[in-house]
Amino acid sequence: MKPAFNTPSWMLAALDERRRQDLMRHTVTLDSPQVPHTQINGQRYTAFCSNDYLGLANHPSLIRAMQQSADEYGVGGGSSHLVAGHLTPHHRLEEALAEWLGYERVLLFSTGYMANLGVISALANKQRPVIQDKLNHASLIDGAQLAQAPMRRYLHATPLSAKKLMMKSEQSGLLVTDGVFSMDGDIAPLSELSDLASQYDWTFMVDDAHGLGCLGEKGRGSLALSDLAMAQVPLLMGTFGKAFGTSGAFVATTRDFADYLTQFARPYVYTTSMSPAMAGASLAALELICSQEGEDRRVRLAEHIAYFRQRVASLPVELMVSKTAIQPIVIGDSSTALAVSEQLKAFGIWCTAIRPPTVPKGKARLRITLSAGHSKQDLVLLCDALEQVLTAK
């Protein structure tokens, strides 16, 4: 009989430390589709923590498109894009995205994390440094580390700080920022950063996972708000798992960058392509985003944001400056944030507490995300509940 495996002591110590600091993470299983009125553990809740900003994750048009694409092309990509896994739905989606955003080429990736790892690890190295915002997504930081590139992080949303780092660098490289910051909800100063990249001959990359679909004309995202295009931002990463309501990601870029990434972006070269059925659903989502219904959903989302901020402004909490669907309320310590999240469940509201290391120490928060799928009554319920919980003595 083989001896039982003993869990390493260092692992048990790390887990105990997480528990002691109220930082342990757990998976939650939904018993319903990804919709505002969801079911968890047999209980009904109104959820305010999904990234389904336009309420498309359970949209009938996307479901039909996915079924039709599956009927014609199956559900599996079968291999990488470069072997035999690039099917007609992938090609159609890439072309439609390129036209929508005004870029020469688009490459599809399985996830946003893999897209960022692929781009940065391919373009940065020990001689090509990376300078990026201090609050950038973990995948952008990990991409630079994977490339073993010199990496410096400038003060959040502060172009002057980025400029100082660029001036100190002996080599030009990648200047990288989120478009909308996922935990704070604010928008990067893209015009100023673009000017810096041009002035010092750095390549500018923007991860607009949380902006595309929601912001700008026809939902073209953060770049549209700053009137920027491919000439100023040659690398734009976007995901389908937020406003599009599906899954996967893409990089919009120039022909030359696309050719280079096709050779050297390892997550692209060595990964099976996304399901052609999912590509069909994502194309239907893009068509919806560009339609009048998409515009109506963006208007409804903006109305929800304005109402929420007006109601919460008078409460004794720190509501972060944000004009986007991400509306964080900073609580402070992790245990208090967990307690507030639990109290909201009594009102039928599901909003998980976000704690370090995802956010800085002492900045645990409720990351409230609003959706066009919410009704006005949902917003009233949320604000009434927050008022009672946050003002209770």
Active site residues: 182, 210, 242
Check if the beta carbon of residue 125 is closer than 8 Å to that of residue 149: yes
25 is in an annotated binding site: yes
CA atoms within 13 A on the CB side of 47: 23
Residue 250, strand partner residues = 108, 238
90 is in an annotated binding site: no
77 is in an annotated binding site: no
Check if the beta carbon of residue 166 is closer than 8 Å to that of residue 178: no
Residue 14, strand partner residues = none
358 is in an annotated binding site: yes
> Amino acid identity, residue 318?
E
210 is in an annotated binding site: yes
42 is in an annotated binding site: no
> Amino acid identity, residue 58?
N
Check if the beta carbon of residue 133 is closer than 8 Å to that of residue 154: yes
262 is in an annotated binding site: no
Element housing 326 (H / E): strand 326-332
C-alpha distances in Å from residue 353, one per residue of 246, 294, 339: 24, 30, 9
137 is in an annotated binding site: yes
Residue 69, token pair as written in the block: 């694409």
> Amino acid identity, residue 164?
K
Q: Which residues are annotated as a binding site for pyridoxal 5'-phosphate?
A: 112-113, 182, 210, 239
Q: Which residues are annotated as a binding site for substrate?
A: 25, 137, 358
Q: Which residues are annotated as a binding site?
A: 25, 112-113, 137, 182, 210, 239, 358
